[in-house]
Amino acid sequence: MSHINSPQPNESPCTALRQQARAFYGLTVADNITLAFSAYRNLLQQTITLASDPTSFAPAWNKLIKDAAVDLVDFEQGDSMALVKLQHSVAASAELLPQSYS
């Protein structure tokens, strides 16, 4: 089973988020998608909370909450094709992370 790794102590939060987003592509319907999504969302939320400029994370957060969360609900309701959309939405969220925190 694929899983999302915890951030390493020496890597920036945005680097960890980008790595988690890449790892999300390796997940299959047999994996705990909800847990992996929650891990990514929680790390993003923690990063925003600790950031000196939390508003710079708004595009990434909005993409995650508006698109990825909907894709997750679709997946949880039995739409296995929603996993691909969810993976793309998580990746798009990671692409919207501010470069200044990398």
What does the pLDDT look like over 46-70, one tens digit per residue?
999 999 999 999 999 999 999 999 9
pLDDT at 77: 97
**Whether residue 2 has pLDDT greater than 50:** no
Rounded CA gap, 81 and 84, in Å? 6
Q: Is the pLDDT of residue 12 over 90?
A: no
Average pLDDT over residues 25-45: 95
Nearest in space to 49 (alpha carbons), one of 38, 60, 39, 57? 57
Q: What is the pLDDT confidence band of residue 7, given thresholds at 50, 70 and 90? A: low
**Percent residues over pLDDT 90 in the chain:** 82
Structure token pair of residue 60: 């990434």
pLDDT of residue 99: 87
Q: Which two tokens stand for residue 4?
A: 């999302």
